[in-house]
Chain A
Amino acid sequence: MPLTGGPEGYPFLQLSNRGDWMNIKNIFFGISLLVLSGLIFFFGSSFPNYVVRGNKLPGPKFFPFTMAVIIIILGAYYIIKSLIMIKLKRIPKDAALAPSDKITLDGIKNVIAIIAGIIVFVPLINLLGFILGATIISTALMIILNVKVWRSLVYSVILVVAIFLIFGMVFKIPLPEGIVVAMFQG
């Protein structure tokens, strides 16, 4: 598969080919790893030492810190390797493995909708109760994903009732009734 053409969806980045784009992504990955290991060191520094009868043994910070050191090495590896690859104009082997970065406006909208739907799910079912809250979320997601309004509603009701029967009735998992319902019930 020829790796030609720019990173679709990112016309502002004038890169010669998808390989360059993968190198940029790998640098980003390397930097994220360095930040992560920094966080591990920062939050782990307060972990106590583990001393038994005067013998200093590997304590709570031993393993996470070992991992953090390996993560730093890996992070530095990706950054250095990618910079060299860019300099030598070479394409990383895994460029063909990463899925296409082609993102349409429609796609971005869909991804944000799913994430937002999950974030508001908990407050919504606590407010309106599981059945109503979950039906609203489900219907909204389906409409955003291009299902007709009435169909979305019918499918959502079926889905939510099925989930309610399985988890709420059969397994007796406490599903919220909702503050609004509780208020009406006094």
Chain B
Amino acid sequence: MWPCSRGDRMDIILSILSPDVIFPVLFAMTFGIFVGGLPGLTATMAVALIIPISYYMSPLAGLGMVLGVSFTSIFSGDIPATFLRIPGTPASGAATLDGFELAKKGKGSLALTLDLFCSAIGGLIGILLLILIAPPLANFALQFTNFEYFWLGLFGLSMSAVLSKGNMMKGLTSAVLGLAISTIGIDITTGYPRFTFGNIELMDGIGFIPAMIGLFGISEVLKRVQQGAAKLQLPPITEKVKISPIEALKIIWKEKMTLIKAAFVGTFIGALPGAGADIAAWVAYGVEKKTSKNSEDFGTGNIKGVIAPTSANNAALGGTWIPALVFGVPGDTITAIVLGAMLMYGLKPGPLIFTESRELVNGVFGIAVLANILMIPIGYLGIKAFAQVLKLKTSVVLTGVVLFSMIGSYAIRNSYFDIYVMLAFGFIGYIMERLAVPLAPMILGIILGPMVEDNLRVGLIKTGGSMNQFFTRPISLVLFLLILLVFLGGPTVGLLKKAFKSKKS
């Protein structure tokens, strides 16, 4: 049930169909197809690059653009994954398995048509779950105070540290570094400038958007150009692209349970703070393979192996918005950027947003539904045009990304300093990747830093310096135990397994 009255629904429809909303959203969706589909340019990068433009729109149009670009870029990553076995964006990793095998059999177009419809339907299911779950969860979150928000921020960070690619310690280090970076700027409680070195530009802290563009834009460019010119060119697509929607829809109807199951799994994984579309796709693939009668067919061109990950990664997007909107804790890097954008608009994500900015939230839900419907024609054109897009020289695209990153970083505050912030973070990201340190926890650390620090300090001020309340309040205690579970759960299970194995032997 849509959580608003019939009159409200008409208002939502009128506001999202107004030209100053729908055209930017369409532009962003087309941009998403392009960026997500080009290997080396990720969905996160697409969102980071669209933010400087969306910043100049109304909050509804701006957030709509972010939604539109994330949906299409996650889908279009499947195009090179299917045709070339190169994921266009990390969330398309699982599509390189059965999708590519189908392409080898000359059925690449069918796999992509399935990808398109399943992405749209999976995305819709994710959004519907968001609409159903978020408002009641927000009511529950109204009970939260500083103590709970402190643990919630830490919970988001721990999940991200544990779930991100790499080992847990490296994820944790990345998150702690993000928290340390978040302390740059004026201390909110006392007004004292920290680590600003007399620089006025640093008083407001490190610009989140330039840092984001650096970490996910420039570091990626550096990684790509480092391989030398020979590695920059992509192979052409040899298959003639022929799209047959009727055949795809018939298959989807037959495999509807696979789609629905994957969409639910995807939304759930997405809703875990720190886990995004890429993990959702792999988990859904794994679940489908485990529960399938012919699991040995997976990886050889099984239709279910195409449907499950592609439905899950788009459904995950809806899921990631749940903790972001309700608690202000991002579900993944994309929603981390969304939170940064919301703060720029002067919106405070958290349970109160559902009452204070009700119209906006409903509008965002409406755009999310519309974007998934619009994805079908836009994605259709994207698949058709893709062979042409791949002909673009990668060097030209990468230079474009550099130019756009520079001007985008500058445009947010009209600050040249932010261009250098972007460069610094680009370089840091580049080095971190070489050291196998994941980037996502750092971004979450930067965005969650103020939440963790302020709530910890305000909590301590309230209690006169005692940590007792952080552990004795029921919800606080549960959150604390969850964090313990996150860190100790995996290793404990591993130890138990070992112990049992040695007993048996």
A86 to chain B, nearest CB (A): 16
Contact pattern, B 210-230, Cβ under 8 Å of A = 1, otherwise 0: 000000001001110111110
Is B396 engaged at the interface, CB distance under 8 Å to the other chain? yes
Complex Cα–Cα for A55 and B407 (A): 48
Find A163's partner among B407, B433, B457, B464 (CB 8 Å cutoff): B407
Q: Kindly list chain B residues whose C-beta atoms are within 8 Å of the C-beta of A138.
A: 399, 403
Chosen A-B contacts, 19 in total, with CB atoms closer than 8 Å, are: A44-B194, A52-B461, A57-B461, A58-B457, A58-B461, A58-B465, A62-B457, A63-B179, A63-B453, A104-B228, A107-B226, A118-B420, A138-B403, A145-B229, A146-B395, A147-B393, A160-B403, A166-B53, A171-B411
Q: In the assembled complex, how far is the CB of residue B263 from the closest CB belonging to chain A, in whole angstroms? A: 29
Query: Is B402 an interface residue when CB atoms closer than 8 A count as contact?
Result: yes
The answer to whether A58 touches B456, judged by C-beta atoms less than 8 angstroms apart, is yes
Instruction: Say yes or no: B228 contacts A110, CB within 8 Å.
Output: yes
Instruction: Report, nearest first, the 10 A-B pairs whose CB atoms are least far apart.
Output: A145-B395, A110-B225, A94-B436, A106-B228, A98-B436, A146-B229, A107-B226, A60-B187, A67-B180, A97-B436
Using Cβ atoms and an 8 Å threshold, which residues of chain B touch A74? 169, 172-173, 176
> Which residues of B come within 8 Å of A, CB atoms?
52-53, 56, 165-167, 169-170, 172-173, 176-177, 179-180, 183, 187, 189-190, 192, 194-195, 197, 218, 221-223, 225-229, 232, 393, 395-396, 398-400, 402-404, 406-407, 410-411, 414, 416, 419-420, 422-423, 426-427, 430, 433-437, 453, 456-457, 460-461, 464-465
- B229 and A44: CB pair below 8 A? no
Chain B residue nearest in CB terms to A135 = B403
Contact of A50 among B56, B190, B420 (CB under 8 A): B190
Q: Does A114 interact with chain B (Cβ within 8 Å)?
A: yes
Instruction: Encode contact with B along A114-134: 1 for CB under 8 Å, 0 otherwise.
Output: 110111011000000000001
Question: Are B225 and A48 touching (Cβ within 8 A)?
Answer: no
* 8 Å CB interface, A73-118 against B: 74, 77-78, 93-95, 97-99, 101-104, 106-108, 110-111, 113-115, 117-118
Chain A residues within 8 Å of B, Cβ to Cβ: 22, 25-26, 28-29, 33, 36, 40, 43-44, 47-48, 50, 52, 55-60, 62-64, 67-68, 70-71, 74, 77-78, 93-95, 97-99, 101-104, 106-108, 110-111, 113-115, 117-119, 121-122, 134, 137-138, 141-142, 145-147, 151, 155-156, 159-160, 163, 166-167, 170-171, 173-174
Note all chain B residues with C-beta closer than 8 A to A115: 222, 423, 427
Instruction: Indicate which residue in B56, B183, B189 contacts A67 across the interface (CB closer than 8 Å).
Output: B183
A residues near B407, Cβ cutoff 8 Å: 134, 163, 167
Chain A residues with CB under 8 Å of B395's CB are: 142, 145-147
Q: Please, which residue of chain A has its CB at the minimum distance from the CB of B409?
A: A118
Contact partners of A141 in chain B: CB under 8 A: 399, 402
Chain A residues with Cβ below 8 Å from B169 are 74, 77-78
The 8 Å CB contact of A114, one of B222, B227, B404, is: B222
Q: Are B183 and A63 in contact (CB under 8 A)?
A: yes
Nearest neighbor of A163 in chain B, beta-carbon distance: B407
Instruction: Specify the chain B residue showing the minimal Cβ separation from A137.
Output: B403
B173: A residues at CB distance < 8 A? 33, 71, 74
**B404 partner, pick from A29, A68, A163, beta carbons under 8 A:** A163
Q: Which residues of chain A have C-beta atoms less than 8 A from B400's C-beta?
A: 159
**Interface contact B192-A29, CB-CB below 8 Å:** no
Set B180, B399, B457: member contacting A68, Cβ < 8 A: B180
B188 to chain A: closest residue by CB: A60
A95 to B218, CA, bound (A): 23
**Shortest CB–CB separation between residue A136 and chain B, in angstroms?**
12
Instruction: Say whether A106 contacts B229, CB under 8 Å.
Output: yes
**CA separation between A163 and B167, bound complex, in Å?**
40
CB distance from B188 to the nearest CB of A (A): 10
With A60-B192, A119-B423, A159-B400 already in contact, the answer to whether A101 and B434 are too (CB < 8 A) is yes
**Taking the nearest CB of chain B, how far is it from the CB of A41, in angstroms?**
12
| Distance, CA A72 to CA B23, complexed state (A) | 50
- A117: chain B residues within 8 A (beta carbon): 402
Q: Out of B226, B435, B457, which one reaches A29, CB within 8 Å?
A: B435
Chain B positions within 8 Å of A36 at CB level = 177, 180
Chain A, Cβ-Cβ closest to B457: A58
Docked pose: A36 CA to B400 CA in angstroms:
34
Assess A145 versus B192: contact at CB under 8 Å? Given A107-B228, A173-B414: no
Name A103's contact: one of B194, B226, B416, B436 (CB within 8 Å): B226
B197 — which chain A residues lie within 8 A by C-beta?
Answer: 43
Question: In the complex, which residues of chain A have a beta carbon less than 8 angstroms from the beta carbon of B180?
Answer: 36, 40, 64, 67-68, 71
Question: B192 to A47, Cβ gap below 8 A?
Answer: yes
